[in-house]
Structure 1
């Protein structure tokens, strides 16, 4: 597993995470889990500056987006 980043906001039904500086962002389509290893969703986009990008995650069914804000996400 590798760290995706911290969820900074939600927008358009997506969780937007800020990737860690200096780490490669996850690939589009990667499965994403939270700190308790519960599946959250999948990476649908990586955008922004190359050295500190944002990662858009589409949530799985039953995942409450507001509860993800401030939490760390990880890619499998």
Structure 2
């Protein structure tokens, strides 16, 4: 498991996480979990600057976007 980043906003039904400096971004389609290892969604896009990219995550069933704001997320 590796850290993806922290959810900084929601847009168009997606959670947008800001990546951490020095970490490689996850692959598109990667499963995303929160700190309690509960699956929250999948990566649908990686964009922005190479050193700290943004990761667009589509939430899974029953996951509220508002609940993800400020959450630290990880790729499985």
TM-score range, shorter chain: over 0.9
Which runs of 5 or more residues in structure 2 are unaligned?
Answer: none
- Paired residues in the alignment total 76
**Cα root mean square deviation, aligned:** 0.4
Structure 1's consecutive aligned runs of 4 or more residues displaced over 3 angstroms after TM superposition are none
Q: TM-score, normalised by structure 1?
A: 0.98
Equivalent residue, structure 1, for 2:56: 56
2: CA distance, partners of 1:66 / 1:33: 16
2: CA distance, partners of 1:22 / 1:59: 25
After superposition, residues 23-62 of structure 1 pair within 5 angstroms as 23-62=23-62
Deviation of 1:26 (Å): 0.3
Deviation of 1:53 (Å): 0.4
Which runs of 5 or more residues in structure 1 are unaligned?
Answer: none
